[in-house]
């Protein structure tokens, strides 16, 4: 591993360039292509998650104040599920796929082989620092690649834990962790990779794409944006309130697919906000700072940013919440009403426990509001009227949609997860991860007989006429 932590400063550690060279050389040996090797690495990664669960949960608590059960479900168990699914299907995924050959090209055989890409770079974020490094790593291993992992320096305790643990369990010549900040990331991006997988914000994504363009390196970008919730007058408000409150305030709102704002039919705005507040009290009590199930803001910088958004012009009236404790990095679950669509809070990704609400006259107005903005990573609609939910699904564009739910689509491994436009490009999870980290190589095999002369020049006379008819 490479680290910029003071505790490690006395040790001579390899540079990002040297780490890149090592994993590249390992890939060139060919050993990562073997299915048995891939399965061994996946099982070892799962064993690390099981045997080091307590250490990882403590690191997540120190970084984000993550409650133990929440951290286990969203970080540890999530990656374990990805491993289990991949182990179950890897043989089938690796098997060459036969495809039909047109009659005019027979006899012959056409198939698709899934080739490893090579040495890949995975850059993870701080909000789910085990899940969002581990899940892409599962895909990289399954695809037969080597990888360098760059955890976020913001979640420093988890970064340090991953850097210590991973080399103890998986092939240290094939997989390496590089710790550090902008300097180390910049150095890694200067190398020639076969794929770069980045999870984070659109600003840094542009830097990643610029660096990747030097070598025409393909990228997967898992970003964020403002994921809207549409609440129709036909919605079951009790269920909607619980599911929106859970999805919004999980991890103190620091989730890329958290509900960012609500578009509420004006006929149900008041009852919805009342039920939403009731759900918050049911989940976290009347004073969530004392709840063992409510997290904290990652650092002072993000706490200040959230305070600026909440206190900014046009943010609206506080419907409930608004309390803060800077020393504890506690930001209360908060909802706003009468938010101005042109305000800062409606033009920046919130990434925290503040939920603006805007009233709309009907579903037409809600769809118009969403489609006039950047394409979101997720979109949520709550409606008992199936015609309404069907319209939202068909008339809007987003990375994914949940009908009468929030977040849960990300946990379905048979659904590809990814954004579109400003919210990202590419997808992963389950089979989609394997496809992301492999190349679909077309292979055509033909016998040497027959070998009719009509296929070759000179093309004239009867030969030319026959070819025109055949083709």
Determine the angle formed by the axes of helices 131-142 and 78-94, rounding to 10 degrees.
Answer: 10
* Strands (E) located in 65-152: 97-99, 109-116, 119-123, 146-150
Report the sign of the C-alpha dihedral through residues 93, 27, 163, 250, in that order.
negative
The H or E element spanning position 260 is strand 259-265
3-state secondary structure (DSSP) of residue 336: strand
Q: How far apart are CA 30 and CA 406, in angstroms?
A: 43
Helix (H) or strand (E) holding 358, with range, is: strand 354-360
Across-strand partners of 265? Answer: 360
Bridge partners (DSSP) listed for residue 98: 111
Provide the annotated active-site residues.
222, 256
Contact 371, 392 (CB under 8 A): no
Query: How many beta carbons lie within 10 A of that of residue 459, not counting itself?
Result: 13
* Coil, helix or strand at residue 40: helix
| DSSP 8-state code for residue 376 | P
Residue reference for tokens 């490094």: 133
How far apart CA 321 and CA 331 sit, in angstroms, is 9
Give me 117's structure tokens.
């890409």
Please state, as a whole number, how many other Cβ atoms lie within 10 Å of the Cβ of residue 292: 10
Q: With H, G, I as helix, E, B as strand and everything else as coil, classify residue 354.
A: strand
CA separation for the pair 147, 311 (Å, rounded) = 43
Reduced 3-state DSSP string for 290-303 = HCCCCCCCCCHHHH
């Amino acid at each position: 591993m490479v680290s910029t932590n003071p505790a490690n400063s006395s040790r001579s550690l390899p540079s990002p360039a040297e780490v890149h060279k090592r994993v590249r050389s390992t890939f060139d040996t060919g050993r990562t292509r073997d299915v048995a090797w891939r399965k061994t690495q996946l099982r070892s990664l799962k064993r690390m998650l099981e045997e080091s669960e307590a250490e990882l949960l403590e690191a997540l608590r120190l970084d984000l104040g993550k409650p133990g059960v929440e951290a286990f479900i969203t970080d540890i168990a999530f990656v374990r599920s990805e491993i289990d699914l991949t182990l179950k299907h890897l043989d089938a995924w690796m098997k060459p796929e036969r495809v039909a050959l047109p009659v005019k090209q027979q006899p012959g055989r056409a198939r698709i082989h899934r080739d490893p890409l090579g040495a890949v770079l995975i850059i993870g974020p701080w909000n789910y620092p085990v899940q969002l490094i581990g899940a892409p790593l599962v895909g990289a291993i399954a695809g037969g690649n080597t990888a360098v992992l760059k955890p976020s320096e913001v979640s420093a305790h988890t970064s340090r834990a991953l850097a210590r643990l991973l080399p103890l369990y998986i092939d240290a010549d094939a997989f390496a962790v590089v710790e550090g900040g902008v300097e180390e990331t910049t150095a890694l991006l200067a190398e020639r990779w076969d794929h770069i997988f980045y999870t984070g914000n659109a600003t840094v994504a542009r830097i990643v794409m610029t660096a990747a363009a030097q070598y025409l390196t393909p990228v997967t970008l898992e970003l964020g944006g403002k994921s809207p919730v549409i609440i129709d007058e036909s919605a079951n408000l009790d269920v909607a309130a619980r599911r929106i409150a859970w999805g919004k305030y999980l991890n103190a709102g620091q989730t890329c697919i958290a509900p960012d704002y609500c578009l509420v039919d004006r006929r149900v705005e008041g009852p919805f906000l009342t039920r939403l507040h009731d759900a918050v009290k049911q989940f976290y009590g009347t004073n969530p700072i004392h709840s063992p199930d409510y997290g904290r803001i990652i650092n002072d910088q993000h706490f200040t940013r959230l305070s600026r958004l909440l206190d900014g012009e046009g943010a609206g009236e506080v419907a409930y919440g608004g309390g803060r404790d800077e020393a504890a990095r506690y930001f209360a679950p908060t909802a706003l009403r009468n938010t101005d669509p042109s305000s800062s809070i409606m033009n920046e990704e919130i990434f925290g426990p503040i939920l603006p609400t805007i009233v709309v006259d009907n579903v037409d107005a809600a769809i118009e509001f969403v489609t006039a903005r950047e394409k979101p990573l997720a979109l949520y609609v709550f409606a008992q009227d199936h015609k309404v939910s069907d319209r939202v699904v068909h008339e809007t564009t987003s990375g994914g949609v949940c009908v009468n739910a929030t977040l849960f689509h990300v946990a379905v491994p048979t659904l590809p997860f990814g954004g579109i436009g400003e919210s990202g490009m590419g997808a992963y999870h389950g089979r989609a991860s394997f496809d992301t980290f492999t190349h679909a190589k077309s292979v055509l095999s033909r016998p040497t007989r027959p070998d009719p002369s009509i296929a070759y020049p000179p093309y004239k006379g009867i030969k030319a006429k026959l070819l025109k008819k055949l083709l």
